[in-house]
Structure 1
Amino acid sequence: MTTLVVSGSFDVNIEPQQDSDAPAGRMVLRKLYHGAMSGSGVGQMLSKRIDNGAAAYSAIEEFVGSVDDKQGSFTLVHSGLMTGDEQTLKIYILPGSGTGELSNISGTMDIIQQNSEHQYQLRYVLD
């Protein structure tokens, strides 16, 4: 199988939620994707930052739209960790979550932030 790669930009709106009892912040994410991956994403993110600057986040995002003109949807699973020295971010397509023409999609996504602009690179396989 051939791994395909698409890239483009996205706009994101982060809406903080009021959870005073919880030890982490919860936000609703709303995204608009532009380029070969075109559509919208909505999800929830949990995050925690401590005084020394270390932080962690996880999110579940539902994408609906098209990838290389194939229509459908799938779930993205985010996991991030930052320390003073290191930053890791892993984003996977949840296996089996694809629908429509994207029903057999699998892969990973990278997010690149440059000059306040968000870019994505999606590496995927369609069985």
Structure 2
Amino acid sequence: MKKKNGSQDERLPRCSSPVSILSIRDEPKENAKLLKTDVKRSFQGDIKAESTAVLLMCLADNGSAGYVATERVVGRIGSRSGSFVIQHGGAVEAGSVTDSFGYVVPGSGTGELQGLRGHCG
């Protein structure tokens, strides 16, 4: 497949990577029902990277929760290096994920990850 500029579009294969949370900093808002949280994570496996995310969370009195996040990932996917941004979110009720979404922000890839597209979950 050709890109708009005429160069060859080399698609990356589907990949997965275990993720470790390196740190979390909560900033309570409005009686701790709404939180702004900063999270640093480490990816291993197909993706070798570190990320920094900002999460906005809602914690309900019954233990249910929801979040939306914007996360910059810097590192390697296979042999390619660069950075990209993902946006993701979800909801939890009674300890089970009830809804989730995630995608690479179009145009956010840099370096050898320029043009990266896809979904995450």
Shorter-chain TM-score above 0.5: yes
The gaps in structure 1 that reach 5 residues or longer are 111-127
Query: Which protein shows a greater Rg?
Result: 2
1:71 aligns with 2:81: yes
Quick one: distance in 1 between partners of 2:27 and 2:61? 21
User: 35, 40, 44: which one pairs with 2:45?
Assistant: 35
Q: Given the two structures, how large is their TM-score scaled by the length of structure 1?
A: 0.76
- Which structure has more RCO (C-alpha within 8 Å, separation ≥ 6)? 1
Q: 1:90 — aligned with what?
A: 101
Deviations 1:62-112 (CA, angstroms, capped at 9, x unpaired): 0000111100100010121233476111111001100111100000112xx
Find the aligned partners of 1:3 and 1:34 in 2 and give their Cα distance.
Answer: 17
* 1:53 corresponding residue in structure 2: 63
Which of the pair is proportionally richer in strand? 1
Provide TM-score, normalisation by structure 2.
Answer: 0.79
Letter in 2 for 1:81: A
Counterpart contact for 1:36–1:69, Cα < 8 Å: no
2:25 & 2:79 partners in 1: Cα distance?
30
- Work out the percentage of aligned pairs sharing the same amino acid: 27
Shift of 1:19: 4.1
**1:24-55 alpha-carbon deviations (Å, 9 max, x no partner):** 11110100111110010001101001123332
Q: Pick the aligned partner of 1:17 from 8, 24, 27.
A: 27
User: What SS class does the counterpart of residue 57 from structure 1 fall into?
Assistant: strand
